[in-house]
Amino acid sequence: MHWFRYLLGFECIFLLLSVVLCGAGKMGESLLQRFSDDLARIVDDVKESVVTIVTEIPQMLSLFGYQAVTGYGSGFVVAPGYIATNAHVVRDAARVAVLYHDGVSEEAEVIAVDPYRDLALLKVDRAVKPLPLGDSDSVRVGEIVLAIGSPLGLPGPSVTLGVVSAVGRTIVGENIVLEDLIQTDAAINPGNSGGPLVNVRGEVVGVTTAIIPYAQGIGFAIPINTVKRFIEMLKRFGRPVRAWIGVFVAPINPRMAYAVGSPVSEGVVVVRVAPGSPAHVAGIREGDIIIKAGGKPVKSVRDLRLAIEDSIDKGYVELEIVRKRTRFVVEVPIAVEEL
């Protein structure tokens, strides 16, 4: 039966549920109608705070100077007058405009960009109610989610339905490595980037991104807790900064630990060390498992990132590492750069 469970997609499950409920007569119809009404209510509650972002990007022509190329993306209100979106949506834009669900548009100012988190924050004059921000650390595989945005630049909002397929994903795109992502089967197309991934309580749990061109039938979202941290760092330093040590990591689980013969089943495994980085100089290697950072257990990519950012004032972060069957502690200098 295991193969059947894995092959049975969400759409098949929903179809079977529909058949069973329809077989139950009016009770089944009532349950399906209630489910449909609840989804429609969620969309009604959040659509006012979801925007279409229109950009003009100068493109050089070989003989005739420049021409403006129009791009599209999505965003959502995180605080009155502030909109979150993806960094790649507004990258190189000479002009950014925001189009609201009621057709009103206005110019927006890009006040912060973090290309390493693929996040940007825009300032607008219109005060629209912010969306409630959930806790992405509590997101579970199998949860129903809605991706809301403006796919392909079409007037929004447009809504797709799916489930959380996985959490803690690390993916490599063009000139970017994104860590700790939420994976979903909700359709995320160009133009959806920067829109909210919403749970059934109407809370934002992620920021959808279509930056990975080879993703077929799967989508990714940046956890909303990463957005909260992005905003917190802005408040703390007055500008976006990046604190890093030069490692790319992925969570380790008991199955992975068994496969590689690791004596520990929790932590993050180093999948890449940037040459010349503080981690490289400190002797960290690919395959090392980080189990503690700053004296706190590390179970996710986010745990490590938070420990590094919390240690900025000290100038280094203390890591406890397992290499094969040897444990040791190393102090790794923290590099801080303004973005």
Report the Cα–Cα distance between both ends of the chain, in Å, rounded. 51
Can 36 be counted among the known catalytic residues?
Answer: no
- Contact by Cβ (8 Å): 179, 170: yes
From the candidates 74, 88, 158, 303, which is the catalytic residue?
A: 88
Return the SS3 of 30. Answer: helix
Can 193 be counted among the known catalytic residues?
Answer: yes
What is the DSSP track for 63-96? TTEEEEEEEEEEEEEEETTEEEE-HHHHTT-SEE
From the candidates 136, 193, 262, 311, which is the catalytic residue?
A: 193
Can 118 be counted among the known catalytic residues?
Answer: yes
From the candidates 118, 180, 288, 303, which is the catalytic residue?
A: 118
Q: Pick from 98, 156, 88, 147: which is nearest to 122 by CA?
A: 98
Rounded to whole angstroms, the Cα distance separating 310 from 308 reads 5
- Contact by Cβ (8 Å): 67, 56: no
Rounded to whole angstroms, the Cα distance separating 39 from 228 reads 26
For 18-27, give one letter per residue: b (16+ CB within 10 A) or e: eeebeeeeee
Q: Which amino acid is at 147?
A: A
Q: Which residues does the annotation mark as catalytic?
A: 88, 118, 193
